[in-house]
Amino acid sequence: MVIGFCGSGSMAAAMARGWAGAADSMLFSDAGSGRAKALAEELGGEAVGNAEVAERADLVVLAVKPAKLDEVAPELQAARSLVSILAAVPVRRVSDAFPGAEVLRLMPNVGVEVRRGVLCVAGEASEATREKLELLGHVVELPDDDFDEATAVMSCAPAYLALAVEALADAGTAAGLDAELARELVIETTAGTAELLRIRHPADVRKAVASPGGSTEAGLEALDREGAREAFEAAVRASLERMRT
Ligand SMILES: NC(=O)c1ccc[n+]([C@@H]2O[C@H](COP(=O)([O-])OP(=O)(O)OC[C@H]3O[C@@H](n4cnc5c(N)ncnc54)[C@H](OP(=O)(O)O)[C@@H]3O)[C@@H](O)[C@H]2O)c1
């Protein structure tokens, strides 16, 4: 399968890295920054114009900013099968822009780069497309109407979780640990906790670590006092508000 990216920014790069070696070839376009050429050099593939992406790719990934949809659509009309990753753009709006193509709405997160992403999908995917998406991680079928809320918790969340990791490691460094060591300890703890959370409820993990009167309990009380939960709620609300403006 030839996969073509219209747009070669952060998310296109993450998906392309995840697919490296799994596509017959990859095509990349950009608006002139040179990121398409850099990705083609990094992963093998070609930097081409939008029209060529549409003509040659079996699957086109629409990976420009949402506001660019109307700008690129006329150049991509030859696309036969198209996956839109545009945040907050309903599948109907993309189908209307590409009447001749099979259109799928996709919301990935950056975990796709290491084939451990979450990919929310709306629309009918062909078997070949579904197979390619499953290579990148955990595929969840979702009604189009739920995409914004899903985006706020699965597509934005890697940044929030990265912030938590960074803050914890910085706190360890402030407490006297070597910075590299603090980061290593927190990252490996995060990876192990993520595995554990696949089989245990978050509340059970919290309780298992925080024995009554212990140091973790004191830490959790401090997080409550400082409004950690409210801060995450505010982050999700702010993302949704931004998506809808
Ligand atoms: N970042 C994420 O974690 C994430 C997650 C899920 C979904 N998304 C969605 O993915 C899309 C891209 O986001 P991003 O973060 O990857 O943005 P980005 O890093 O800003 O990349 C946007 C890309 O679009 C290119 N572009 C702009 N106009 C173009 C045109 N006329 N023809 C061809 N390419 C053009 C830009 O070219 P230049 O390089 O030349 O500027 C750039 O390569 C957005 O719709 C976003 O909602 C992002």
Q: How far apart are CA 64 and CA 48, in angstroms?
A: 15
- Domain assignment present for residue 29? The answer is yes
**Which pairs from 189-196 meet CB under 8 Å and 24+ separation?**
190/161, 190/165
Residue 72: half-sphere exposure toward Cβ, Cα within 13 Å: 28
Amino acid at 29: S
Chosen domain end from 142, 167, 199: 142
Distance in Å, CA 123 to ligand 1 centroid = 22
Is the CB of 89 within 6 Å of ligand 1? no
Which residue has a Cα nearest atom 4 of ligand 1? 11
Instruction: Give yes or no: residues 38 and 100 share one domain.
Output: yes
Is the CB of 113 within 6 Å of ligand 1? no
CATH of residue 225's domain is 1.10.3730.10
Q: What is residue 220's predicted lDDT score, i.e. its pLDDT?
A: 98
Q: What is residue 221's predicted lDDT score, i.e. its pLDDT?
A: 97
Instruction: Give yes or no: residues 62 and 104 share one domain.
Output: yes
Is the CB of 68 within 6 Å of ligand 1? yes
- Domain assignment present for residue 105? The answer is yes
Q: What is residue 244's predicted lDDT score, i.e. its pLDDT?
A: 85
Instruction: Give yes or no: residues 12 and 122 share one domain.
Output: yes
What range defines the domain where residue 162 resides? Answer: 157-243
Q: How far apart are CA 178 and CA 207, in angstroms?
A: 29
Q: What is residue 245's predicted lDDT score, i.e. its pLDDT?
A: 82
Q: What is residue 82's predicted lDDT score, i.e. its pLDDT?
A: 96
Query: How many CB atoms sit inside 10 A of residue 199's CB?
Result: 8
Is the CB of 9 within 6 Å of ligand 1? yes
Q: What is residue 124's predicted lDDT score, i.e. its pLDDT?
A: 80
Is the CB of 239 within 6 Å of ligand 1? no
Asked whether 147 and 177 are in contact (CB, 8 A), the reply is: no
Instruction: Give yes or no: residues 113 and 209 share one domain.
Output: no
Task: List per-residue pLDDT tens for the chain, 245 residues long.
Answer: 999 999 999 999 999 999 999 999 999 999 999 999 999 999 999 999 999 999 999 999 999 999 999 999 999 999 999 999 999 999 999 999 999 999 999 999 999 999 999 999 998 889 999 999 999 999 999 999 999 999 999 999 999 999 999 999 999 999 999 999 999 999 999 999 999 999 999 999 999 999 999 999 999 999 999 999 999 999 999 999 999 88
Instruction: Give yes or no: residues 129 and 19 share one domain.
Output: yes
Among 64, 12, 65, 72, which residue's Cα sits nearest to residue 43? 12
Residues with Cβ within 8 Å of 69's Cβ and at least 6 positions away in sequence, in order, are 62, 86, 89, 93, 94, 97
Q: What is residue 4's predicted lDDT score, i.e. its pLDDT?
A: 98
Q: In what order do the strands lie in the sheet with 2-6?
A: 46-47, 25-29, 2-6, 59-62, 81-84, 102-108, 117-122, 137-141
- Domain assignment present for residue 149? The answer is no
Angle in degrees, CA 151, 40, 32, rounded to 5:
75
